Every structure is written in structure tokens, then in C-alpha cells.
Amino acid sequence: MSEKRLSVVTGAARGIGRAIVLELLKQGRIVAGLDIIADQLAELETVVKEAGFSVITKCVDITDTPKFTETLEALAAEHNGIGILVNNAGITRDNLLLRMSDEDFDKVIEVNLRAAFVAARTAARSMVRNKFGRIISISSVSGIMGNAGQTNYSASKAGLIGMTKTIARELAKKNITANCVAPGFIETEMTKKLPELVIEAAKQLIPLRRVGSVDDVAKAVAFLASDDAAYITGQVLPVDGGMAM
Ligand code: NAI
């Protein structure tokens, strides 16, 4: 039974990550939510408490590799390992290729891809020991189709897919699966800042003709974390209303 194993979610304070935390708690799991925004983590704790659950929260910058690794190792030591890792934290620094700076390229790769690698490497140690693990990374339709203005972001999200397939192949014999969820256009802080015109244009590209909700993504993640998904590995599950088919 995977329910008794610790689930760790990065970028848990808001948006998709927060919805994933709530969905995993509804499945009866022990969940640790990590984020860089302390006050929103505190608010998450309150919301979770009001819903009758409890959540472990840790305020950490996932690009601070020593601190992030130390946090994950401490969680693993306290909970007999990490059972489920959800690499969700992500940022955008959009610009057209000709205007994109090295800093903006590197920063997005650092948060979206490098930190996911660090987390997977750290979590895998206890997963190998326990012969159980689920590594779920939140990619994006941008990593599959590309998206003008997102050279850095698309590269990071495509990178997660390649990384996931390699982890799936390396660790399958240890009963560890690795999969990606690739959301399309989901209503969160990340997309709220886009102009209405862009949102309307995006909807025209979605066969289901609506923007997705954070719960649409969280339910897919919860499925991949569940025992029902035990025979699925190395896959990319789009949650995009048909956008990237
Ligand atoms: P969001 O911006 O609402 O939430 C991201 C969370 O990650 C925030 O709580 C933020 O504080 C945290 N975070 C960022 N940098 C961090 C760092 N260095 N250390 C610790 N935490 C950090 O974004 P949203 O929309 O919830 O996105 C979640 C994931 O889903 C991201 O990986 C994003 O790329 C992906 N995604 C989102 C889509 C959308 O339409 N909203 C579409 C496709 C993928």
C-alpha cells in the first residue's frame, strides 16, 4: 500500500502544487509541501487543517541544492523514505529567442529541470532501499509542441520528459516508476498575468474549448501516484483538453 509512504510536492504553496497536495491528502496520504513562499505555505496549512487534514510544510528554495537536498534527506529520515515525489515547482521568464538573456535561460532551467534532477536523485536513494517509488514531474504542452516566447521554458519541460524516461528505464527493476503530466492551459497565477486576448486565442487551440483547472491536473497526478498506476512508467500524460494531440 503506497498510502503510508511520504509524498513530497514541490511548489506546493499555490496553484497546481497546492491542488496536488489537497488531492493526495484526500487519498489518505502523508504529504510534505515545499515552497519558497512562507506566508502562502502557512495559509495552505490553515486550509488543510480546516478540511480536517494535516500537512508538513518546509520553506526552501529548490535551487539551493545543499539546503534542498538536506531538507529532502531529513524528511526521508523521519518518514522511512520518500515514496512519492512530485516535481511541480516551475517558473517562466518568457521572451523571444533574439531577446532572451543567458540569465533568463539559466534561471528557468535551474528551477524547472535541475532542481527536479536533484530531487529525483535524492528521493531515489530511499526509493531504491524500499523497493518502491513514484516520481511524477509536471512538464507542459510547451515541452511537447514548443511555444513562441518560451525557448527556456520549452527546453526545461522537454528536458523533464527525457529525464523521466531515463529514470524510468534505470529504476524499473527497483519497482520505481517515473512519469510526466503535461498540462495545457491551466488557470493559475502563472497564466492569470496573460492578457485576455492571449487567453481567448489559446482557447481556440483547445478542442474542449475551456481552460483547465488545477484540479484537472491534480487528479491525473493522484492517479499516477496510486496503486492503480503501478504498471505505467516512462509516460507523458497530457492534461490539456486535447491541445497537444
Ligand atoms: P504557480 O506560479 O502558481 O506556482 C508555482 C509554485 O512554485 C509557486 O508556489 C512558487 O513559489 C514555487 N516555486 C517557484 N520557484 C521556486 C523555488 N526556487 N523554490 C521553491 N518553490 C518555488 O504556477 P502553476 O501554474 O501552479 O504551475 C505549477 C507547475 O505546472 C509548473 O511547473 C508549471 O510550469 C506547470 N505548468 C503550468 C501550466 C499552467 O497553465 N498554469 C501549464 C503547464 C505546466
Q: Is the pLDDT of residue 59 over 70?
A: yes
Identify the pLDDT of residue 191: 84
Q: Is 239 in the pocket of ligand 1 (CB under 6 A)?
A: no
Residues 6+ apart with CB under 8 A from 85: 7, 8, 119, 120, 123, 133, 134, 135, 136
Cβ of 58 below 6 Å from ligand 1: no
pLDDT at 87: 99
User: Using one digit for the tens of pLDDT, what is the confidence trace for 121-172?
Assistant: 999 999 999 999 999 999 999 999 999 999 999 999 999 999 999 999 999 9
The reported pTM is 0.98
| Other Cβ atoms within 10 Å of 245 Cβ, number | 8
63 in contact with ligand 1, CB cutoff 6 A:
yes
For residues 231 and 202, the model is more confident at 231
231 catalytic, yes or no? no
What is the arithmetic mean of pLDDT over 203-216? 95
Among the ranges given (79-83, 174-178, 187-191), the one the predictor scored with the smallest mean pLDDT:
187-191
Q: Which three cell numbers mark 207? A: 478542442
Average pLDDT over residues 182-205: 89
Mean pLDDT score, 65-79: 98
Grid cell of 187 as nine digits: 488557470
183 CB near ligand 1 (under 6 Å): yes
Q: Which residues of 177-209 are buried (b: 16+ CB within 10 A; e: fewer)?
A: bbbbbbbbbbebeebeeeeeeeeeebeebbeee
Q: What is the pLDDT of residue 1?
A: 61
Catalytic residue among 68, 105, 132, 153: 153
pLDDT digits (tens, 9 = 90+) for 74-126: 999 999 999 999 999 999 999 999 999 999 999 999 999 999 999 999 999 99
Instruction: Report whether 111 contacts 63 (CB < 8 A).
Output: yes
The number of beta carbons lying within 10 Å of the beta carbon of residue 152 is: 25
Q: Share the mean pLDDT of the chain.
A: 96
pLDDT > 90 in the chain, percent: 93
> What is the 174 CA–ligand 1 centroid distance (Å)?
30
Residue type, 102: D
Q: List CB contacts of 40: < 8 A, sequence separation 6 or more.
A: 13, 14
Question: Can you give the three-state secondary structure of the chain, one letter per residue?
Answer: CHHHCEEEEECCCCHHHHHHHHHHHHCCCEEEEEECCHHHHHHHHHHHHHCCCCCEEEECCCCCHHHHHHHHHHHHHHCCCEEEEEECCCCCCCECHHHCCHHHHHHHHHHHHHHHHHHHHHHHHHHHHHCCEEEEEECCHHHHHCCCCEHHHHHHHHHHHHHHHHHHHHHHHHCEEEEEEEECCECCHHHHCCCHHHHHHHHHCCCCCCCECHHHHHHHHHHHHCHHHCCCCCCEEEECCCCCC
Atom of ligand 1 nearest to the CA of 13: 9
Which triple of cell numbers denotes residue 108? 528557468
Which pLDDT value is given to residue 32? 98
